[in-house]
């Protein structure tokens, strides 16, 4: 079920910060208490292949998100200790040394289960053993959530494991949402900061279409 237009789940999760400390983060409170937007992105596993490219890409764009009053948080179902080891592995060796934003360690899968983003659809009951078996690793898809200053989700997206994200698209989405917040207009297809928006009525649409 989609979370768009709803409050993000009010759950606290262990996390690892850049200093190597295990901390506790509630994403909803991060947004509301700091009056900031939050970009939360999930990835399947530490020490894999596509995942470090994404974490480095978000790090490279971190200043752009900060300019937009947005906190970036990464998340997987690995433990804080595995996050710490990955943070201390060099980029040349497939690590994420240099990443400075917090990483959720949802090893009990409470939040990922609540969001229904786990690759756990292939469950089967073994009649011989009486055990519920699961194919795969029960890790998260590449799910991304954009949350406003009041804790409401205004964007969610889920990628299959092999497909990496375009970080610039999230910057564009934040720009568009902020424009709507500030101007009250709506943003048409392929809108980017600096382009024309339009009024949300028939006349506004006709005027926009006739001039583009």
Q: Are residues 158 and 173 in the same domain?
A: no
Residue 205 has what pLDDT? 82
Residue 121 has what pLDDT? 59
The strand pairing partners of 118, in sequence order, are 140
Q: Is 187 a catalytic residue?
A: no
In a domain, 186, yes or no: yes
In a domain, 1, yes or no: no
Q: How far apart are CA 94 and CA 142, in angstroms?
A: 18
Tens of pLDDT, residues 188-211: 999 999 999 999 998 888 888 898
The residue count of the chain comes to 212
Q: How far apart are CA 64 and CA 88, in angstroms?
A: 25
Which residues, 6 or more positions from 130, have their beta carbon under 8 angstroms from its beta carbon?
Answer: none
For residue 14, name the pLDDT band (cuts at 50, 70, 90).
very high
Q: Are residues 29 and 109 in the same domain?
A: yes
Q: How far apart are CA 36 and CA 30, in angstroms?
A: 8
Tens of pLDDT, residues 99-138: 999 999 999 999 999 999 999 756 666 777 878 766 778 9
CB atoms inside a 10 Å sphere around CB 165 = 18
In a domain, 99, yes or no: yes
Tens of pLDDT, residues 55-81: 999 999 999 999 999 999 999 999 999
Strand 153-159 to 131-134 pairing: unpaired
Q: How far apart are CA 175 and CA 28, in angstroms?
A: 21
pTM, 2 dp:
0.93
Q: Are residues 184 and 152 in the same domain?
A: no
In a domain, 130, yes or no: yes
In a domain, 4, yes or no: no
Q: How many domains does the chain have?
A: 2
Helix then strand then coil, in percent of the chain rounded to 5, is 30, 25, 45
Return the H-helix or E-strand segment holding 26. Answer: strand 22-26
Choose the weakest-confidence range: 137-141, 147-151, 173-177. Answer: 137-141
In a domain, 26, yes or no: yes
Domain encompassing residue 210: 167-212
Residue whose token pair is 């207009």: 185
The residue from 51, 99, 118, 198 that is catalytic is: 51
Q: Are residues 54 and 106 in the same domain?
A: yes
Which residues, 6 or more positions from 21, have their beta carbon under 8 angstroms from its beta carbon?
Answer: none
């Amino acid at each position: 079920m989609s979370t768009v237009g709803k409050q993000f789940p009010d759950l606290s999760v262990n996390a690892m910060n850049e200093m190597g400390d295990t901390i506790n983060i509630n994403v909803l409170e991060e947004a509301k208490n700091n009056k900031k937007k939050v970009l939360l992105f999930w990835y399947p596993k530490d020490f894999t292949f596509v995942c470090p490219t994404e974490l480095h890409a978000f790090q490279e764009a971190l200043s752009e998100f900060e300019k937009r009053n947005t906190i970036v948080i990464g998340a997987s179902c690995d433990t804080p200790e595995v996050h710490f080891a990955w943070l201390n592995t060099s980029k040349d060796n497939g690590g994420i040394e240099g990443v400075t934003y917090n990483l959720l360690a949802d090893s009990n899968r409470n939040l990922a289960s609540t969001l229904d983003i786990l690759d756990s659809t292939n469950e089967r009951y073994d009649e011989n053993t009486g055990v519920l078996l699961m194919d795969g690793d029960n890790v998260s898809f590449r799910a991304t959530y954009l949350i406003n200053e009041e804790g409401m989700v205004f964007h969610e997206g889920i990628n299959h494991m092999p497909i990496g994200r375009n970080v610039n698209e999230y910057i564009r989405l934040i720009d568009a949402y902020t424009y709507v917040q500030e101007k009250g207009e709506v943003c048409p297809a392929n809108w980017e900061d600096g382009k024309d928006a339009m009024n949300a009525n028939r006349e506004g649409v006709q005027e926009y279409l006739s001039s583009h």
